[in-house]
Amino acid sequence: MYRNLTKILIMIFISIYSVAEAKDNCQPEFNLAKSNLNINTSNKEEDKKYTFVYFDQSLSMQGYTKDQPGQKNLYTNVIDDLQQLAENVGEKTFYHSFGKKIVPIKENKISQVITPSFYECSGSSTDCNNQESKIHLPFKMAKANPQGTYIIVTDLFLSSKQLVGGTLSQLTKPLKSILKKGKSVGIIGVMSSFNGTIYDIPTRNGGTVSYTEAQKRPFYIIIIGDQKEINQVKKNLEEQHFNDAEDKYKYTLITSTPILQNLNQKELITENNIKKISRAENFKFEYTNDNLPIYQFDTNKKNKYKFKVLNSEIIVPGSTGVSNFIIKERLWSSKKIKCKKINEGDWREAKLEDISSISQNENELTLSLFKNRPFAKLFRGLRYFYVAEIYAEKPGNLSEQTFEDWSIRDSGAEEFKEGNPVEFKTLNLTKIIKILNNVANDEFQPTLIASIALNFNLLK
């Protein structure tokens, strides 16, 4: 009986030792970085929120409500459905107008927003709410109650004096607070027919003029909230209103988290991310317990490998994107090429930097493995273990490029008007987008996108 018990204990010990050996011997000891991605996409029942809709009541908005012969009026069509879109986002919706102040709109009066009378006022200019467009006011409300979703309808026609100093800080300070709390700002630009007056166009001598000959002009729907809610509104608008080829609209997402996901968390990295590597001798692909994908194989000094990821898998659609990536990489070697014969002390970490290189085009991100330190420059007949952690280091500026052809600067506004344009541009639009992006970029933190490991025997 005691002999059998001894045999059982010995077998258990050998089994435990073998498991530990199998786990530890084929890779060195190291700490793997954890994902720091935190996107606010809560969908819990207890997180039901209110929706707040704000309509710009400045007089220049009136032109969207009047039909222009031969032109499609997307403003009235979109705004007419906005009530339903807003109610799909939150459990209760509140409506307001804004000009020099915010004024609540009763639910039975919402239909007036698409009529000319909504933008008229019979009182004095100081009493009327249609003489200014203080867009920072809805942002201030969003800062006070970040759990809500905010939808702002405006022409975004802002002069340079509204984008400097204290006036600018009234917009950027709430935005910074909003982004810190994990929210994003979506901007949907829609080209619509226009039949009215565009006010406050800057002149060369410092004054302003008006223009009445425009037949088309973009308006903007700004959504402040979770990325999920912003994308829902955008998707609904696309499906319901932007079906014809001539329908022109643009979209951007102002966010401090332009990274869609960490690829390791859901084990989205596969052997196919490195083309043809599965044909290598003694190839094996597996994930460790901490979601690290390991490519194990034998190779010669001439082979070259590239790890590729589609931008659509890592970049939030419509966002600024990423302008710079960095790699944190480590390399170990062992004279013992067979895993079962390697002990922890047999691994030696190389003091090498700049081993691989990273690049991005409009479709994909590519990690060229061992491009700067090719296999031909390594000692052959050794086993190597390589870890690469890919980080998004700096946001891009794709949103500024998206809206560039709809924007006109103060300095060129009068000359543009004198050309009698049928389609009128938005004053300082790219400047506004750039300001918003700069605030988002200030809140951006380098974000881990993916981690991979190569465990390979470099043949003699």
Q: Is 14 domain-assigned?
A: no
Q: Is 246 domain-assigned?
A: yes
Tell me, yes or no, whether 278 and 305 share the same domain. yes
Q: Is 202 domain-assigned?
A: yes
User: How many domains, the chain?
Assistant: 2
Tell me, yes or no, whether 376 and 336 share the same domain. yes
Tell me, yes or no, whether 212 and 277 share the same domain. no
Tell me, yes or no, whether 335 and 406 share the same domain. no
pLDDT digits (tens, 9 = 90+) for 182-240: 899 999 999 999 999 999 999 999 899 999 999 999 999 999 999 888 988 898 888 88
Tell me, yes or no, whether 328 and 414 share the same domain. no
Find the domain containing 416 and state its range. Answer: 45-256+397-443
Mean pLDDT of the chain: 88
Tell me the average pLDDT across 374-381: 94
Tell me, yes or no, whether 229 and 281 share the same domain. no
Banded pLDDT at 39 (limits 50, 70, 90): low
**Does the pLDDT value for residue 368 go beyond 70?**
yes
State percent of the chain over pLDDT 90: 62
Tell me, yes or no, whether 243 and 287 share the same domain. no
Banded pLDDT at 46 (limits 50, 70, 90): very low
Q: Is 5 domain-assigned?
A: no
Banded pLDDT at 1 (limits 50, 70, 90): low
**Does the pLDDT value for residue 301 go beyond 60?**
yes
pTM, to two decimals: 0.81
Q: Which of 44-53, 73-82, 216-225, 398-407 tops mean pLDDT?
A: 216-225
Tell me, yes or no, whether 122 and 250 share the same domain. yes
Q: Is 289 domain-assigned?
A: yes
Residue that wins the pLDDT comparison between 351 and 424:
424
Q: Is 429 domain-assigned?
A: yes
Q: Is 305 domain-assigned?
A: yes
SS (H, E, C) the chain: CHHHHHHHHHHHHHHHHHHHHHHHCCCCCCCCCCCCCCCCCCCCHHHCCEEEEEEECCHHHHHHHCCCCCCCCHHHHHHHHHHHHHHHHCCEEEEEEECCCEEEECHHHHHHHHCHHHHCCCCCCCCCCCCCCCCHHHHHHHHHCCCCEEEEEECCCCCHHHHCHHHHHHHHHHHHHHHHCCCEEEEEEEEEECCCCEEEEECCCCCEEEECCCCEEEEEEEEEECHHHHHHHHHHHHHHHCCCCCCCEEEEEECCCCECCCCCCCCCCCHHHECCHHHCEEEEEEECCCCCEEEEEEECCCCCEEEEEEHHHHECCCECCEEEEEEEEEEEEECCCCHHHCCHHHCEECCCCCCCEEEECCCEEEEEECCCCCHHHCCCCEEEEEEEEEEEEEECCHHHHHCHHHEECHHHHHHHHHCCCCECCEECHHHHHHHHHHHHHHHCCCEEEEEEEEEEEECC
Banded pLDDT at 22 (limits 50, 70, 90): very low
Tell me, yes or no, whether 109 and 161 share the same domain. yes
Tell me, yes or no, whether 372 and 401 share the same domain. no
Looking at residue 105, its pLDDT comes to 94
pLDDT digits (tens, 9 = 90+) for 157-194: 988 888 888 888 989 999 999 998 889 999 999 999 99
Looking at residue 243, its pLDDT comes to 81
Q: Is 9 domain-assigned?
A: no
**Does the pLDDT value for residue 7 go beyond 70?**
no
Looking at residue 40, its pLDDT comes to 53
Tell me the average pLDDT across 335-361: 90
Tell me, yes or no, whether 300 and 243 share the same domain. no
**Does the pLDDT value for residue 133 go beyond 50?**
yes
Tell me, yes or no, whether 289 and 338 share the same domain. yes
**Does the pLDDT value for residue 8 go beyond 50?**
no
